[in-house]
Chain A
Amino acid sequence: MTNPTLAAGAVERHLRARRDTGRGLLMPYVTGGITPSWTDYLRAFAAAGADAIEVGLPFSDPTLDGVTIQQAGDTALARGASTRRILAELSGMPDLGVPLVASTYYNLVLHDGAEAFCAALRRAGVGGLIVPDLPVHEADELTDVAAAAGIELVLLASPVTPQPRLAEISCRSRGFVYAVSLMGTTGERAALAASAAELTERIRRVTDRPVLLGFGISTPDQAREARRHADGVVVGAAVMRRVLDGAGPDDLRAFLATLRQALDQECDRPR
């Protein structure tokens, strides 16, 4: 068996290194192009202690997104956001010191061809890619193209994924494994889903790749609880609701700092 760390790309090496210091990983999400100066949010995320940043490329038909991310995507598209413009704006940014992971639906990946898409990501300084409507058995083509372009294709696991398939997903995922905490769409929830712990536990049995829990993680308490099971959390709708309500980069920095603190407290505790 090859040593996965040796084969790992830059996103995974970064996340593994931080995890191995005992740090709970935080990956906030922003919809690209949501405001004219949206890249300021990225700087705020990095300053608040993000370990990676997810940048959504909005699509007209986001079937896996709840109301908040849908509204964010519609708002960005209405402003004239597009994959090209968002990536152009990203390439103008200085290095934030944390990896960028793009997320979008498969139609936008295919539109100019997967090779051109991955090359454009690379030029914009993006290291990873999440495609929520691309399950593992449809991912052959993109896996090869992304790997050749140096893009780590992150695969998603769900609470109902059977164990053998979970092993395949964990093995073929790059960067980290995205554990979808619940059966449903993106969006804030009152409590962390009960399925989150079991799913994370099942993934851990088959990989030592970093595991990030996403969907419905909205509060410091939920982040703390998620950290007990996973290496870290993805926070999307809780960020974007605030952005849609008019919160600026400093407000988001303060909100993310509370999540950062919660993750750090959880890791300081004897486990």
Chain B
Amino acid sequence: MTATEGSLLTAADLAGGGVHGDDPDTRGKFGVFGGRYVPEALIPALDEVASVYAEAKNDPAFVAEFEHLLRTYAGRPTTLTEVPRFAEHAGGARIVLKREDLTHTGAHKINNVLGQALLTRRLGKNRVIAETGAGQHGVATATAAALLGLECVIYMGAVDCERQALNVARMKLLGATVVPVENGSKTLKDAINEAFRDWVSNVEHTHYLFGTVAGPHPFPEIVRDFARVIGVEARRQIIELTGKLPDAVVAAVGGGSNAIGIFHAFIGDEGVALHGYEAGGRGLESGEHALTLTAGSIGVLHGSRTYVLQDDEGQTIESHSISAGLDYPGVGPEHAWLKDSGRATYHGVTDAEAMEAFSLLARTEGIIPAIESSHALAGALKLGRELGPDATILVNLSGRGDKDMGTAMKYFNL
């Protein structure tokens, strides 16, 4: 499965899941996880998305258009950057960053939204809706909608709208309507609930441009495939750089799209360990965290059977993280499956550990990472000390930290 000369990715790259035999089955199940736990009214729309996508991913014209946008609009391929001064704090292990922070709009989210915006056009729909927590997926969706001339409505928890006022302004500037969600905990999970309510009411002309590898089938598969380019590029690049595969690939996990994006191309490489780092918030014992895979239990949330944070009555527990992008009480079903199969390992990183890595990367390498990505960096610091100086660790630097300056100013008293 090599890319053709000069091309970022091919239809085979996009449809690469099948190569490893780990696509979900026809009912969207990864083992016992995934599926479609949604109202009957949405089933025909999900069927349509699945069949139009199945056709699109095997259509060279569609893949070429996606590839063209990734190259000329998103700024791909993104580079790898080795960070030796940072790595001194990781027991001298070799640490290499995949620079998704350098994409247009500043995070890996752009890959998925460009793919799904093209899919929306192919579906013959003219309106997209999306949920957003920190506002990154909302900004990316508004960007792609502006590019393709689609009407765009973003649901965002009222609490998040306040915390991320700058991103609300960006979305509005890009022509999107931002709807503050006032019910429930007024955060990401409630924004998703509200987006589903919009979708069931307007499904005839609206595509739900889902932002992560969670939700009902086929979203976990589609979002993964559009984010997969991260790992496809990184695998090629790290072999060019080091002459071999890395010992470990590391990423932050909220819903799980950046992690699946970089993991997926390595799943077949048995010698490459896959490590996901969830938001440990104020620590497991505090109860204020987003440790869905490490401390949650199996349930059904937002259309998918997966690990969720729930109380002993089955009610969803509100998660906590200093990083809004990881502040979600669910997780993509493919991660649940990778966890249970043992192929990937998931750990927690606290707010404090993430902020330490955030500041360390800035001071040692001149790169200000997103706080989400800082969880992966903190994980790499720990892992490097475990693996020793001979190890090479590839980290998905999923986004840049400009949006987090307000939080950083408060946290570090800047």
Say how far B34's CB is from chain A's closest CB, in angstroms: 11
A59 to B27, CA, bound (A): 25
Contact A185 B200 (CB under 8 A): yes
A225 to B363, CA, bound (A): 71
Beyond contacts A59-B315, A71-B183, A133-B38: 8 other A-B pairs, Cβ-Cβ < 8 A, are: A60-B184, A67-B183, A70-B183, A107-B316, A135-B38, A156-B40, A158-B40, A185-B201
Stretch of A19-27, A77-85, A91-99, A201-209 with 4 or more beta carbons under 8 angstroms from chain B: A77-85
Report which of B44, B189, B202 forms a contact with A61, defined as CB distance below 8 A.
Answer: B189
A-to-B contact residues, CB < 8 Å: 59-64, 66-67, 70-71, 74, 77, 82-84, 105-108, 110-112, 132-138, 155-162, 165, 169, 180, 183-185
Q: A74-B183, A133-B39, A169-B40 are in contact. Are A84 and B313 (CB under 8 A)?
A: yes
Contact A162 B44 (CB under 8 A): yes
A88 to B397, CA, bound (A): 51
- B residues less than 8 Å from A108 (CB atoms): 313-314
Stretch of B56-64, B71-79, B96-104, B294-302 with 4 or more beta carbons under 8 angstroms from chain A: B294-302
In this assembly, does B203 line the interface, its C-beta being within 8 Å of a C-beta of chain A? yes
Contact A132 B313 (CB under 8 A): no
- A residues less than 8 Å from B27 (CB atoms): 137-138
In this assembly, does B196 line the interface, its C-beta being within 8 Å of a C-beta of chain A? yes
Closest partner residue, chain B, to A117 (CB atom): B314
In this assembly, does B115 line the interface, its C-beta being within 8 Å of a C-beta of chain A? no
Q: Mark B189-220, 1 if CB is under 8 A from A, else 0.
A: 11011001100111110000000000000000
Size bracket, chain B contacts = 35 or more
Q: Mark B281-321, 1 if CB is under 8 A from A, else 0.
A: 00000000000000000111111000010100111100000
Contact A106 B37 (CB under 8 A): yes
A162 to B44, CA, bound (A): 8
Contact A133 B200 (CB under 8 A): no
A183 to B45, CA, bound (A): 12
- B residues less than 8 Å from A105 (CB atoms): 300
- A residues less than 8 Å from B301 (CB atoms): 61, 107
- Interface contacts (Cβ under 8 Å), in number, total 114
Report which of B41, B197, B314, B315 forms a contact with A66, defined as CB distance below 8 A.
Answer: B197
A135 to B40, CA, bound (A): 5
Contact B35 A138 (CB under 8 A): yes
A106 to B216, CA, bound (A): 14
Contact A158 B41 (CB under 8 A): yes
Contact A180 B310 (CB under 8 A): no
Which residues of B (1-56) have their CB < 8 Å from a CB of A?
A: 27, 35-41, 43-45
- A residues less than 8 Å from B43 (CB atoms): 135, 158, 161, 165
Contact A61 B40 (CB under 8 A): no
Closest partner residue, chain A, to B38 (CB atom): A133
Contact B300 A83 (CB under 8 A): no
A138 to B308, CA, bound (A): 19
- B residues less than 8 Å from A138 (CB atoms): 27, 35-37
Contact B41 A180 (CB under 8 A): yes
The contact sample of 17 A-B pairs, CB cut-off 8 A, is A60-B315, A61-B189, A63-B38, A63-B302, A74-B183, A83-B313, A110-B300, A110-B314, A111-B299, A133-B300, A137-B36, A138-B27, A156-B40, A157-B40, A180-B40, A183-B41, A183-B204
- B residues less than 8 Å from A77 (CB atoms): 315
Most chain A Cβ neighbours within 10 Å, of B36, B190, B300 = B300
Say how far B304's CB is from chain A's closest CB, in angstroms: 11
Closest partner residue, chain B, to A180 (CB atom): B41
Report which of B38, B41, B197, B313 forms a contact with A82, defined as CB distance below 8 A.
Answer: B313
A261 to B314, CA, bound (A): 40
